[in-house]
Amino acid sequence: MPGSKTGDKKTVLFLCKCSSNISNIVDFEEIKRWAGEKGDTNIAAVSNLLCAPDGKKFFSEVIKKKNVNNIIIAACSPKLHEKTFQDIAEKNNINMSRVRMANIREQCAWVTADKNEATEKAKSLINAAIKRSFLSEDLKRRTMKAYSDVLIIGGGIAGIETARTISKTGRKVYIVEKNITIGGSVMKTEDLAPSMECSPCLMAPILSDVRDDPNIEVLANAEITNILGFFGNFNVTIKEKPRYVEDNCIACEECFKVCPVSVKNEFHYSLGERKAIYTLFPGAVPASAVIDKNICKHFTDNSCDKCVSVCPFGSINFDQEEKTTAINAGSIVISTGFKPGDLAGFPELGHKSINDVYTTYELESLLSTNGPTGGKLKPDDEKIPASAAIIHCAGSMDSRGIPYCSSICCTHAVKAGEMLGKVYPAIRVFNIHNDLVFTDPEEHQFYKKQKAKGTTFIKCFDLSSIKITKTPDDEKIKISGYGFEPISVDIAVLATGFKPADDFKELAKIMDLALDKNGFFRPGHRILHTTASEQDGIYSAGCASKPVNAAAACTQAQAVAGDIMSRLIPGREIELEIFTSFIDEEKCAGCKMCIPACPFKSIYYDPERKISIINEALCRGCGTCTAACPSGSIFARHYTDNEINAEIEGILHG
């Protein structure tokens, strides 16, 4: 019987001429003769163009009529058409793993003009494919129901808007916030430029919406510790730190009055103070207060429990423990916000060393009626500042600080003048700038209005020459720099930029994402998909991928929500990797060496059975672990050592 060497499999060898692309160089008659002589394939079928409609029909007919169950196609690169032919085979009830290509075009016909050489090489490659095909096993296509819930990291305005939009479709949304309540940076200012809309008034109904939305779950005072999986199937581990105050706390603030410990309030840039038990602002979500364990006297020396006795709801619970929660989500949104640029590297700007020198953030905080000083620069000092200088680009576009332009701070700088003017109507304002960057006509209009109101815009060609000084005898702050006459003012405001938040690096590591040179998350595409990340299913909104203002953050949030909702349809199945790896449980010694090797964190150790296990819903079939297993206990489906050795054998011993 011809083809007896093939065992119980009937094997067909398709030879594709690729018009004449291949047959010009590779001698098809010789290949057919050689194949017949070898006898390990049953049929050699020649096609002029196997991937054309006629060719596909021919392919389909041959495998159906001849009752074939093992297919070798000597043609172009498997990258081009392996899937095409696998799909046709599957339609004819032949497992996809039974279709194997030998690349005799790119690797033979196109790399030499020597017909003999090309034909001999084609034989080697075909032989390798044949030898390997005898060892391949059927592979199963696997699917799973995608999770349609969404996890949002960071509860600033971008995260909140994403959550609100998605929750309307009935999907569950989780907001994980590292601070004790959501709200983020917009809660630190009174007015949002350029419209100067009242930020707390804008946010109050939004926050209460979130609080009352049964589909949104807020995990505050929490951080992400691990993320596994891929689009449609993420497993996220979250650590919630104890608040020591139960959820029934309504933030009545009774305890604040009796708490004996105070500390600088970092939420207000350390300008005001807060107690050991505190909230960030009225109407916070979650509402309940938090005890700062590091300073609370119950924890430091067990000398106080005043809050316990005054709390009308019995909410204080010093025994609360850290909670770890695991969540399955289909998509993840990074909306972790930003951090204001700091001026530690710029002593010449006098920040923190000279009184009355503030950053724009500090100024906003001080001038907010809900801020640390009730809306005045100095609540106790009745002196009214007569003049202010606002320095643009402070600490930006300079390697000592932020090397880039954040594109937000010019509007902040203009807004600083507007805010000062509201509180101190007679104040004279000087804006010292080089570039002026506005991102839309409204912002530009805002600037023009400010100018019309009498603000002097002073151009300084080299902002790094700016010096802010004040001697003990001086009443006023002196500002000097290249290209303008020094001015003396009562206060100076530094418009600093946006930096990536501190946890970006850690998050990037957990999610296996790259940061760009400025430390922001690299977008999926700079133009076409700025809210995608480099990993399918992980999105960014707000300041995660670059500095944006609140309006842009909301637009991005809605874009992300739309993107997710269009792709993550509840009930839809997602295809899982077919070529996964598996561990031979009889052989595995539980040495754990494969675990760090897996780039997708798909392997875990089972201490009871003392072996390692691959979670095949997470495995991407990269095969790294098979090389790492020191006892040869891991097998990569479709790429077993035996298959690869057979292929090499086939090449070496044609």
Partner 1 sequence: MTKPKIAISWNSSCGGCDESIVDIEDKILDIAAKVEFVLWPCAMDFKYDHVRALPDGDITVSLINGGIQNSHQEEIARLIRKKSKTVVAFGACAWLGGVPSLINLKNKEELFKSSYLESISVENPRKTLPAIKSKVDNCTLTLPEIYDTLYKLDDIIGVDYYLPGCPPTADLITDLFLKLIEGGLPEKGAVLAPARSLCISCPRNETKPDNFEIDEIKRIHEIIADPEKCFLVQNLLCMGPSTRDGCGCSCIKGNMPCTGCFGPADKSDQGAKMIGTLGSILKGSTESEADRVIDGIADPAGTFYRYSTAASMLGRKRKEDR
Contacts of 555 (CB under 8 A, 6+ apart): none
- Token pair recorded at residue 533: 């990340």
609-617: long-range pairs with CB below 8 Å, 24+:
609/585, 611/583, 611/585, 612/583, 612/588, 613/583, 614/580, 614/581, 614/582, 614/583, 615/228, 616/142, 616/576, 616/577, 616/580, 616/582, 617/144, 617/229, 617/233, 617/576
Closest separation between CB of residue 101 and ligand SF4, Å? 22
Closest separation between CB of residue 597 and partner 1, Å? 3
Nearest one of 339, 406, 389, 402 to 494, comparing CA atoms: 389
Give the containing element (helix H, strand E) for 249.
none
CA atoms of 101 and 79, how far apart (whole Å): 10
436 binds ligand SF4 (CB under 6 A): no
Among 2, 403, 483, 632, binds partner 1 (CB under 8 A): 632
Report the partner that residue 402 touches, choosing among partner 1, ligand SF4, none (CB closer than 5 to 8 A by kind): none
Among 631, 648, 652, 653, binds partner 1 (CB under 8 A): 631
Segment near partner 1 (CB under 8 A); pick from 29-37, 236-244, 368-376, 585-593: 585-593
For 52-81, letters b (16+ CB in 10 Å) and e give: eeebbebbeebbeeeebbbbbbbbbebeeb
Report the partner that residue 610 touches, choosing among partner 1, ligand SF4, none (CB closer than 5 to 8 A by kind): partner 1
If the CB atoms of residues 52 and 627 are measured against partner 1, the closer one turns out to be 627
Residues 254-283 that bind ligand SF4 (CB under 6 A): 255, 258-261, 276-277
Closest separation between CB of residue 319 and ligand SF4, Å? 13
In this structure, what DSSP letter does residue 577 have?
Answer: P
Q: Residue for token digits 């006509």?
A: 441
CA atoms of 417 and 601, how far apart (whole Å): 52
- x-or-dash pattern for ligand SF4, window 595-634, by CB under 6 A? --xx-x-xx-------xx-x----xxxxxxx---x-x-xx
What backbone phi and psi angles, to 5 degrees, belong to 515? -100, 150
Residues composing the chain: 654
Closest separation between CB of residue 48 and ligand SF4, Å? 39
Closest separation between CB of residue 300 and ligand SF4, Å? 8
C-alpha separations of 572 from 84, 87, 229, 232, 566 in Å: 24, 21, 17, 9, 11
Report the partner that residue 604 touches, choosing among ligand SF4, partner 1, none (CB closer than 5 to 8 A by kind): partner 1
Closest separation between CB of residue 579 and partner 1, Å? 19
If the CB atoms of residues 460 and 619 are measured against partner 1, the closer one turns out to be 619
Among 397, 590, 604, 644, binds ligand SF4 (CB under 6 A): 590
- Using CB atoms within 10 Å of the CB of residue 133, give its burial: 0 to 12 exposed, 13 to 18 middle, 19+ buried: buried
CA atoms of 540 and 546, how far apart (whole Å): 10
CA atoms of 609 and 625, how far apart (whole Å): 19
Report the partner that residue 627 touches, choosing among ligand SF4, partner 1, none (CB closer than 5 to 8 A by kind): partner 1
What number of chain residues touch ligand SF4 (CB under 6 A)? 45
- x-or-dash pattern for partner 1, window 589-628, by CB under 8 A? xxxxxxxxx------xx----x-------------x--xx
Segment near ligand SF4 (CB under 6 A); pick from 77-85, 233-241, 290-298, 545-553: 290-298
If the CB atoms of residues 323 and 592 are measured against ligand SF4, the closer one turns out to be 592
Q: Residue for token digits 């561990």?
A: 583
Binding residues for partner 1 (CB under 8 A) = 586-597, 604-605, 610, 624, 627-633, 641
Binding residues for ligand SF4 (CB under 6 A) = 255, 258-261, 276-277, 291, 296-298, 304-307, 580-581, 583, 588-594, 597-598, 600, 602-603, 611-612, 614, 619-625, 629, 631, 633-634, 636
